[in-house]
């Protein structure tokens, strides 16, 4: 549940702004006032986690992005044998939501997935999510007919961005 709340806060950030602790707190209060989250959920959100994200290199990069796409649904057909490791010829329709992709100032496409897992190091996240992110990358490339330049996990627990596919 806390991960969902952090995603919600990050989604509602304005990348053109500089945030202070009070401004992040105000954002959470607005979500509560609008009845998007409950009082208990608002109290469960670690303001410092969101604030540290707004100070990250990733957030700074978003300030100069040409386009930002948040919470984009996608659908992609993939061979069933890629998922089930069986020799079948059917395809499977996979659907999901991409946390963020953006076109940077140099016109590169960067795919970002936010993770809130409690982990010891970044390799745990890469191992756990590399296949998922590869699907997201294929979905973007197929839909837009472009190549994704970077795939990044932003770990709210480690408070850092991790290049997965570069």
Nearest to 61 by CA among 102, 9, 2: 102
pLDDT in tens, 125-143: 999 999 899 999 999 998 8
> pLDDT tens-digit profile of 2-50?
889 999 999 999 999 999 999 999 999 999 999 999 999 999 999 999 9
- Whole-number Å distance between alpha carbons of 64 and 147: 20
What is the predicted pLDDT for the residue at 128?
A: 94
Share of the chain above pLDDT 90, in %: 78
Q: What is the pLDDT of residue 166?
A: 62
- Given a cut of 80, whether residue 114 has pLDDT beyond it is yes
43's CB contacts (< 8 A; 6+ apart) are none
Residue 94's pLDDT band (cuts 50, 70, 90): confident
């Amino acid at each position: 549940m806390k991960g969902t709340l952090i995603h919600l806060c990050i989604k509602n950030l304005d990348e053109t702004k500089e945030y202070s602790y009070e401004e992040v707190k105000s954002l959470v209060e607005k979500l509560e006032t609008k009845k998007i989250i409950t009082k208990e959920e608002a109290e469960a959100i670690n303001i410092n986690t969101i604030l540290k994200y707004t100070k990250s290199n990733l957030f700074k990069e978003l300030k100069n992005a040409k386009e930002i796409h948040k919470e984009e649904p996608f659908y992609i057909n993939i061979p069933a044998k890629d998922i089930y490791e069986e020799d079948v010829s059917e395809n499977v329709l996979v659907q999901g939501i991409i946390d963020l992709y953006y076109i940077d100032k140099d016109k590169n496409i960067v795919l970002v997935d936010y993770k809130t897992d409690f982990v010891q190091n970044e390799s745990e996240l890469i191992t756990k999510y590399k296949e998922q992110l590869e699907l997201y990358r294929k979905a973007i490339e197929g839909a837009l007919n472009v190549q994704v330049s970077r795939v990044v996990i932003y770990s709210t627990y480690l408070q850092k961005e991790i290049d997965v596919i570069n």
